Amino acid sequence: MRKFDLVVVGAGISGGSLVFNLLNQGFQGSILVVDRGDALATGPTAFSAGGFRNLWTTSINQQLCTKGIEVLKRFHEDMGVGCGFHQSGYLLTYYAQSWEKIPQASEIWRRNGVNFEIWTPEQIEARIPGLRCGVDHIDPEVCEFLGFQPIVGGVFGCDCGAFDPSQAAVGYFERACGFVSKPQIELNTEVLAVAFDHARRATGVRLKSVGGAEEDIEAGIVALCSGPWTNNLLKASGLPDSDLMPIVNQKRMLFITDFPDSDPRWQDLPLTIIDQGIYFKCEAGNLMIGKAKHDAPDSLDTTFEPDYYVDEVNLPMQERMPNVATCKLKSGWASLYDTCSADHNAIVGWHEEHPGLLLQVGYSGHGAMESPAVGICLAELILTGKYQTIDCAPLRWSRFREGDLVHEKIVI
Ligand SMILES: Cc1cc2nc3c(=O)[nH]c(=O)nc-3n(C[C@H](O)[C@H](O)[C@H](O)COP(=O)(O)OP(=O)(O)OC[C@H]3O[C@@H](n4cnc5c(N)ncnc54)[C@H](O)[C@@H]3O)c2cc1C
């Protein structure tokens, strides 16, 4: 039987960050990375908007993203490969009621060294082409139906922006392969189950290769970086429901359109969030637009729905920005959020009921920006037994049993 010190399930950005950072911190053991995809990063990592921000309401998200931004900013220099890092900012816009909470949030951001500006409606309109903060131009019935109100202000995160998570994932694996104890990467290979011994310790995995051959592998540690497929894998491994994750898998779509006009401001657009959680940014000379379907069922379905763009995204958006009425849908895609239904935060660290089982899952739509920092912290945990750079204990699996949740209020 083949034996590895570490088996990583999932070759997305979180698996890449874990493997690279372990080797970078001096791990000498053998590593096997397994993914059922036919290339690195074929899961949600490849379909992400790649936004990063340090504007959060919880300290752990703020710390992880501040560190993550630091890593991504230096990625090209440190890793020798680019990751499409572009610090074009994040603009969160607010109606009157939620705007009242901004002074309090600002205090926390200031204390944590977050670089941000408060913008007036005039400043917002000057930066975002065609956006009208008031609602006088909207038919009152439509305005009421949509629940639109005047935008009374915005928070601009100066250090925020977007990058390409797939490029970063591939960069992590490429650099990992430059170490003497480089990982063995097996694609087109499915992990059918994690094996556990009588003491509930994870001891290995059962693999199925593309030809259908099955193989048992012995492992010192099994790291799950397996995104939306984690609970299915653990169920297939015989774990009771009480040991699973409170994760629901939800379809999320992104739409690519042309720009409405030739205004040069489109090219340097911050990732902007407006009414009903509609967000948009510049994506290689196009607009990338998203809006969460909040009632999306727990499912692994990724069927793309162009009608959703026409009816639920473009129609409300053109009330706020009449110029986008002419935008043509060029392409788009659907992928999955592994949403932690308990508190919208990742599940990171050892599974307290199963020694040897390491978790980096349930990222709830912020895994691209957080995994560069989490990989550093998990590598420290494996090598030294404790977190050093950032204490990720608030994200432990057992927080659900202990009722010690980490509620994040700014989720998109
Ligand atoms: C539309 C959309 C927009 C997003 N926007 C942002 C954003 O702006 N900012 C941000 O930070 N995050 C964003 N995210 C979330 C982010 O993309 C994810 O949190 C992140 O990519 C998770 O990476 P990962 O490596 O943990 O997992 P994944 O990318 O989900 O990879 C998991 C891998 O595990 C493999 N796998 C799973 N089970 C098995 C098995 N049994 N056997 C073999 N292989 C297996 C899969 O094939 C897959 O490759 C977005 C996500 C979506 C869908």
Task: Tally Cβ neighbours within 10 Å of residue 200.
Answer: 14
Tell me, yes or no, whether 197 and 316 share the same domain: no
> Is residue 232 domain-shared with residue 327, that is, in the same domain?
no
Last residue of a domain, one of 310, 338, 366: 338
Task: Verify whether ligand 1 is closer than 6 Å to residue 69 (CB atom).
Answer: no
Please identify, by atom number, the ligand 1 atom nearest to the C-alpha of residue 368.
Answer: 11
Is 129 in a helix, a strand, or coil? Answer: coil
Does residue 104 form part of some domain?
Answer: yes
Ligand 1 mean position, distance from CA 335 (Å)? 9
Task: Give residue-wise pLDDT tens across range 216-261.
Answer: 999 999 999 999 999 999 999 999 999 999 999 999 999 999 999 9
Whole-number pLDDT of residue 192: 98
CA 176–ligand 1 middle distance (angstroms): 19
Report if residue 412 sits inside a domain: no
What is the tens place of the pLDDT at every residue in 134-193? Answer: 999 999 999 999 999 999 999 999 999 999 999 999 999 999 999 999 999 999 999 999
pLDDT above 80 (res 264):
yes
Q: Name the closest-CA residue to atom 49, ligand 1.
A: 43
Residue 408: CB within 6 Å of ligand 1? no
Q: Are residues 348 and 236 in the same domain?
A: yes
Question: Residue 141: what pLDDT?
Answer: 97
Least confident of 64-73, 108-117, 155-164: 108-117
**Residue 411: pLDDT band with limits 50, 70, 90:** confident
Phi, psi of 372 (to 5 degrees): -60, -35
Q: For residue 365, how far is its CA from the centre of ligand 1 (angstroms)? A: 9
Please say which residue of 293, 311, 338 terminates a domain: 338
Q: Examine the domain organization and report whether 235 and 265 are in the same domain.
A: no
Do 271 and 383 lie in a common domain?
Answer: no
Quick one: 219 exposed, middle or buried, by C-beta within 10 A (0-12, 13-18, 19+)? buried
Between the CA of 369 and the centroid of ligand 1 the distance, in Å, is: 11
**Does the C-beta of 12 come closer than 6 Å to ligand 1?**
yes
Same domain, 259 and 137: yes
Q: Closest ligand 1 atom to the C-alpha of 230?
A: 38
Say what the pLDDT of residue 157 is. Answer: 97
**16 touches 41 (CB < 8 A):** yes
Question: How many CA atoms does the CB half-sphere of 149 hold within 13 Å?
Answer: 9
Does residue 165 line the site of ligand 1, with CB under 6 A? yes
Question: Ligand 1 centre and the CA of 14: distance in Å?
Answer: 8
Residues 52, 69 contacting (CB under 8 angstroms) = yes
pLDDT in tens, 324-364: 999 999 999 999 999 999 999 999 999 999 999 999 999 99
Q: Locate the ligand 1 atom nearest the alpha carbon of residue 360 and give its number.
A: 26
Whether 254 and 240 share a structural domain = no
Atom of ligand 1 nearest to the CA of 370: 11
Between CA 146 and CA 319 the distance in angstroms is 9
Residue 225 maps to which CATH number?
Answer: 3.50.50.60
Q: Ligand 1 mean position to 383 CA, how many Å?
A: 25
- How does pLDDT run across 26-57, given as a tens digit for each residue? 999 999 999 999 999 999 999 999 999 999 98
Predicted local distance difference test score (pLDDT) of residue 113: 86
pLDDT tens-digit readout, 285-317? 999 999 998 788 999 999 999 999 999 999 999
Q: Are residues 34 and 58 in the same domain?
A: yes
- Integer Cα distance of 268 and 287 in angstroms: 11
Choose which residue among 9, 48, 250, 278 to substitute to test ligand 1 binding: the one with the highest number of ligand atoms within 8 A of its C-beta.
48
Distance 165 CA to ligand 1 centre (A): 10
Query: Domain range holding 67?
Result: 2-83+164-246+342-402
9 lines ligand 1 (CB under 6 A): yes
Helix (H, G, I), strand (E, B) or coil at 81: coil
Number of helices (H), then strands (E), in the chain: 13, 18
Per-residue pLDDT of 391-401, as tens digits, reads 999 999 999 99
Asked whether 48 lines ligand 1 (CB < 6 A), one says yes
Residue nearest to atom 51 of ligand 1 (CA): 48
